[in-house]
Amino acid sequence: MITEILLFLAGIVVSTFGTLIGFGGGVFMVPILIIFFQFPIELAIGTAMSALLPASLVASIFNFREKSIDYVVASLLQFPAMMGTVMGAFLVAFMPVLQMQVLFSVFVTAVGVYMLATYKQKQRQKRGMVYRLNRMPTSFIRKNHPRHLAYRLNGGLMAFFGLFTGTVAGLFGIGGGFLQTPIMIRVFKIPSQIAISTSLFILIITSITGISSHYWLGHIDWTKSLPLMLAFAVGALLGKAVKGQSSPTQQSSERLIGIGLMLAGVSVMVHIFLKYQL
């Protein structure tokens, strides 16, 4: 009983933080399940994936009511990401995955450090390669009238990043949400609340696909998954409550995302260590 209570509390904490930063929390939950609760790695991945669905659904219902989801951005990212996931799964047989996973973990941690070091700095306007790429053909203006926001997108560039994050997810066996959120904020200058809400909406599709795959592979034990699914749903409610009370600014959201990226990088490294028994 103590183990189940601790698992439930851990799920609430992870889901609350994941809702605040738009990552969902799966990348943090897998190492926790393996290290502290002695889950086999396949069962840990399947259990974490199943828990993400109710959390993303709960968060997206609130975000839908707040009109903070950009469905065009979600489509431009998610459909290429689905193709990229398949490509990444095939690339596993031809690439030195272990070395790439280590480098990727270091890269994600470094990006998190960079975001923490620069979140207070004023963003440069009308400079840099990304600025010019974002204004090439297939670019257009997106307007969110209820929130009085507008930002420029490049459909081709966004589809490329969707393909990239999907390939990473398939190649490394991790979710791509913790890459999509900072890309939306830093590359496309999408307001943080729109980026976080859109990322959590994308997670619904990713979770359904992942649950289906892991269920057929026998990697989901519903007696263990259902309590964690309930915990993640509670955590999503708490995350939305915290957001509603504190009304996070763009800077505070970027700071939380930077912390999340650092934790994600460490989580991936722990995941690698446990998987390959280094």
Other beta carbons within 10 angstroms of residue 126's beta carbon come to 7
- Average of pLDDT values for 145-165? 87
Residue extents of the structural domains in the chain: 2-276
Please determine, for residue 206, whether its predicted confidence score (pLDDT) is greater than 90.
Answer: no
Please determine, for residue 45, whether its predicted confidence score (pLDDT) is greater than 60.
Answer: yes
Please determine, for residue 155, whether its predicted confidence score (pLDDT) is greater than 60.
Answer: yes
Instruction: Identify the weakest region by mean pLDDT among 36-45, 170-179, 235-244.
Output: 170-179
- Average of pLDDT values for 42-60? 89
Arithmetic mean of pLDDT over the chain: 83
Q: Which amino acid is at 246?
A: S
Interval 216-265: pLDDT, tens: 878 888 988 999 999 999 999 999 888 777 666 777 888 888 898 888 88
Please determine, for residue 49, whether its predicted confidence score (pLDDT) is greater than 90.
Answer: no
pTM for this structure? Answer: 0.84
| pLDDT for the residue numbered 13 | 94
| pLDDT for the residue numbered 236 | 94
Please determine, for residue 269, whether its predicted confidence score (pLDDT) is greater than 80.
Answer: yes
| pLDDT for the residue numbered 123 | 54
Q: CA 275, CA 38: separation in Å to the nearest integer? A: 13
| pLDDT for the residue numbered 149 | 87
